[in-house]
Amino acid sequence: MKASVLFSGGKDSSLSAILLEPFFEIELVTCTFGVLPVGEVAKKAAEKLGFAHRTIGLNRKVLEEAYEFLIKDGYPKNAINHIHHAAVEQLACEKDVSIVVDGVRRDDRVPVLTVGQSRSIEDRLGVKYICPLKGYGRSAVDLLVREYLIIEEGQSSEIIKADYEAELREIIRQRHGEYMIGTLFPFHMQSHVIGRKK
């Protein structure tokens, strides 16, 4: 049975795919608003991992709504959760998709669906929503990353990743300039998968 993994090119979505590989036929799916060539970035990472990959377009309205959240809040949590929820819903609505996989882990705060949102998506849309890393803490994830992946790490601004934040940052850059990105987005390390060990 096919499992469709929301794929950002980062270690969590890559590891989620690897954990499910023995049990499902994996396809990686990257969501984009068309602001940056994130589909191309993700495609290269997917090739390194050896998984099928495709890109789907999200409604630009969702990005504008996220932009409004971001400007109103002054931090990206609700904006990114809004995009993530829309992405899960859109993938779950596809006719041939019956299992949606999300790379969220135990200690993540963003983006994360509540248990209520997860059940609602499963019940309304008739899909299974699986988060393979939801029961893994940082040290367990790090162990598997070291064993299975080759990654490069850097600040969010340096690493080109196919996640929702990349396009939201770009919109802020276009409309408010580089400086505003540093104000709205907290510094954090990003990782990008550049190879697979086994």
Residue type, 196: R
Residue 150 within binding range of a second copy, rule CB under 8 A: no
Gap between the Cα atoms of 186 and 198, Å rounded: 33
Residue indicated by tokens 């499992």: 3
Residue 19 within binding range of a second copy, rule CB under 8 A: yes
- In this structure, are residues 55 and 32 in contact, taking their beta carbons and an 8 Å threshold? yes
Gap between the Cα atoms of 96 and 58, Å rounded: 17
Gap between the Cα atoms of 133 and 135, Å rounded: 5
Q: Which is nearer to a second copy, 54 or 128 (CB)?
A: 128
Residue 107 within binding range of a second copy, rule CB under 8 A: yes
Applying CB under 8 A, among 61, 119, 124, 176 the residue interacting with a second copy is 119
**Residues between 23 and 62 that touch a second copy (CB under 8 A):** 23
- In this structure, are residues 196 and 48 in contact, taking their beta carbons and an 8 Å threshold? yes
Q: Which stretch in 27-35, 100-108, 172-180, 188-196 sits in contact with a second copy by CB under 8 A?
A: 100-108
Q: Which is nearer to a second copy, 64 or 107 (CB)?
A: 107
Applying CB under 8 A, among 122, 170, 180, 196 the residue interacting with a second copy is 122
Report, in Å, the least distance between residue 100 CB and a second copy.
10
Query: Which 3-state string (H, E, C) describes 95-150?
Result: CCCCEEECCCCCCCCCCCCCHHHHHHHHHHHCCEEECCCCCCCHHHHHHHHHHHEE
Residue 85 within binding range of a second copy, rule CB under 8 A: no
Q: Which is nearer to a second copy, 19 or 80 (CB)?
A: 19
Residue 170 within binding range of a second copy, rule CB under 8 A: no
Residues that bind a second copy (CB under 8 A): 1, 19, 22-23, 99, 102, 104, 106-107, 115, 118-119, 122, 128-137, 139-140, 143-144
